[in-house]
Amino acid sequence: MAIRLAIAAIVALAIGCVLDLRHRRFVRWEIDGRSMLPCLHPGDWVIVETATRARRPLRTGDVVLVPDPRDARRMLVKRVVHLGEGDRAWLEGDNPAESTDSRQFGPVRARDIVGRVIFRYHPIGRLGRVR
C-alpha cells in the first residue's frame, strides 16, 4: 500500500511538473553538501516550487533555494529561521558544523529566494515531503 501511494505521488508530481514546465513553477535541484543533514543528504534530488508561483507565502521553517549572497553563481539550500522586517530572511543550515549561512553573511532579501524545497524524489527510499 505504501509503495502504491509513493508511486501515485511521483506520477502526480511528474504530471504537474510537465504541465508547469513552460511557466517554471517547479525546478529540480541536487543537494551537494552536508549543511542540511539530517533533513537532506548529498545526492538527494528535490523539487523546488519557485517563489513567483508559490501557493503560499514564505514561512519560518521552510527549506529554500537561494543564491549565495557572496557569489550569486552558487546556490544554497537552507532553512528559514526568522522572517524579519524589511523583506529580510535569516537562513541557517540544519547542520551548523557544515553550514555557511546567515551566521556568516547575515540576512538575505526574501525576494532573492528562488523557491521552497517541497519534495524529495531521489533516492526512492527517502521519497517524500521536505520539512
Q: Are 46 and 70 in contact (CB under 8 A)?
A: no
Among residues 26, 31, 35, 99, which one is catalytic? Answer: 35
Q: Are 55 and 77 in contact (CB under 8 A)?
A: no
- Report the C-alpha gap between 109 and 125 in whole angstroms: 35
Q: Are 78 and 99 in contact (CB under 8 A)?
A: yes
Please say if 102 is a catalytic residue: no
Among residues 26, 36, 62, 78, which one is catalytic? Answer: 78
**On the CB side of 52, how many CA atoms lie within 13 Å of its CA?**
8
Question: How do strand 45-50 and strand 108-109 relate by DSSP bridges?
Answer: unpaired
Please say if 99 is a catalytic residue: no
Mind telling me the catalytic residues? 35, 78
